[in-house]
Amino acid sequence: MFTQFFGNYLLNKQLVSPEHLCEAMQQLSTTRLKLGVLAINAGLLTAEQVDIVHDEQQRVDKRIGDIMVDMGFADSEQIEELFKTQPKGHLLLGQALVDNGYMTTAQFERALNSYKAENSLSDTDLSNSNEEAIRKMIKRFYNFNDTDSSRYMTSYLTLLFKNIIRFIGDDFTPLEPDMSAIKSVIENCVIQRIKGGLSAITLISADNNAEIEFASRFAKEQLSDNDEYTQACISEFLNLHNGLFAVNLSNDEGIELLLEPQEIYNNIKFEELINPVTIPVSFSMGLINFVIIL
């Protein structure tokens, strides 16, 4: 996930254009070797075991390597070795940008070093996707404070980005919260409310093409219209994400949440939402806006 936030850093420092970053992220996404493939190559897991691990990864908020260990397919030392052989995303992103002539190696080196320094990130944090370091980075990126509400928001967003990677893909760049990214009247959106130990509302909205592509990736089938089925796909992504958030809160803090059925709204007035935080996420398919009220 550092790769995606590092991409945002490069954008903000105007070291790359949004188009060049998008192109490099897509390249990275299609060429990066996944841990499952490396595990098969190393003879640690069979293809069937990797499928089982991938299925499980959609139901528990754990790193793929930890699931492989939990399921008894490998031990932690073997997974550590495997991690070492996996090329790191932020380095591959740099390589793609340099290879395409969008940055020089020296510019990339300077950018990476300043990014690490500004975010107090070590090489180990970047290599191991350290959970605490990710949370710290997200808290800093969105300027969250130390209130309970900010703590839950940090957890919610950390999981949201992980779920985007799990269910949609890793070729995205998170952008700063931006109220102007949302139209005053949202024509098409999916909403799910959470009640119980915590109240929250999440809304997903995008333009037609971005919604169709987001839904297609989630459903693993090419959709062509923004119809009821496309909206059902986006709804289910939201439901799975909120479900995992509820499981985490139940396991970690003993807080039980109740999810309400997802709803599809047309023409909702943005001004009617109370204290919304808008999280725009830029994909090659377009901008997807997550509006969260927590």
Partner 1 sequence: MTIQDLKVLICDDSMFVRRKMKDSLSALGVTKIFEASDGEKAVVKYAESNPDIVFMDIVMPVKTGVDALKDIKSIDPDAKVIMASSVGTQKNLKEAISEGAFDFLQKPINERDLLKMLEKAVK
Q: Which stretch binds partner 1 (CB under 8 A): 10-18, 87-95, 204-212, 237-245?
A: 237-245
Would you count residue 239 as binding partner 1 (CB under 8 A)? Answer: yes
Would you count residue 244 as binding partner 1 (CB under 8 A)? Answer: yes
Q: Which stretch binds partner 1 (CB under 8 A): 88-96, 103-111, 252-260, 276-284?
A: 252-260
Degrees to nearest 5, angle at CA 211 with 64 and 97 = 60
Q: Closest distance between partner 1 and the C-beta of residue 281, in Å?
A: 21
Task: List CB contacts of 155: < 8 A, sequence separation 6 or more.
Answer: 135, 245, 248, 249
Which residue type is seen at 86?
Answer: Q
Q: Closest distance between partner 1 and the C-beta of residue 23, in Å?
A: 31
3-state secondary structure (DSSP) of residue 142: coil
Pick from 40, 52, 165, 287: which binds partner 1 (CB under 8 A)?
52
Beta bridge mates, 186: 268
Q: Which of 43, 42, 62, 39 is nearest to 51 (CA)?
A: 39
Q: Considering CB under 8 A, how many residues would be counted as binding partner 1?
A: 26
CB 291 within 8 A of CB 203: yes
Would you count residue 235 as binding partner 1 (CB under 8 A)? Answer: yes
CB 108 within 8 A of CB 13: no
Would you count residue 165 as binding partner 1 (CB under 8 A)? Answer: no
Q: Give dist(CA 24, CA 18) in Å, integer.
A: 10
Q: Which tokens sit at 222?
A: 């090419």
**Residue 14 neighbours by CB distance under 10 Å:** 7
Would you count residue 163 as binding partner 1 (CB under 8 A)? Answer: no
Q: Which stretch binds partner 1 (CB under 8 A): 109-117, 228-236, 268-276, 280-288?
A: 228-236
Provide φ and ψ at 179, rounded to 5°.
Answer: -65, -30
Pick the closer one to partner 1 by CB: 53 or 96. 53
Q: Give dist(CA 50, CA 43) in Å, integer.
A: 11
Which residue type is seen at 27?
Answer: Q
Pick the closer one to partner 1 by CB: 43 or 261. 261
Would you count residue 201 as binding partner 1 (CB under 8 A)? Answer: no
Would you count residue 58 as binding partner 1 (CB under 8 A)? Answer: yes
Q: How many residues appear in the chain?
A: 294
Q: Which stretch binds partner 1 (CB under 8 A): 99-107, 181-189, 204-212, 236-244?
A: 236-244
Would you count residue 232 as binding partner 1 (CB under 8 A)? Answer: yes
Binding residues (CB under 8 A) for partner 1: these are 52, 55, 58-59, 219, 228-229, 232-233, 235-236, 239-240, 242-244, 246-247, 250-251, 256-257, 259-262
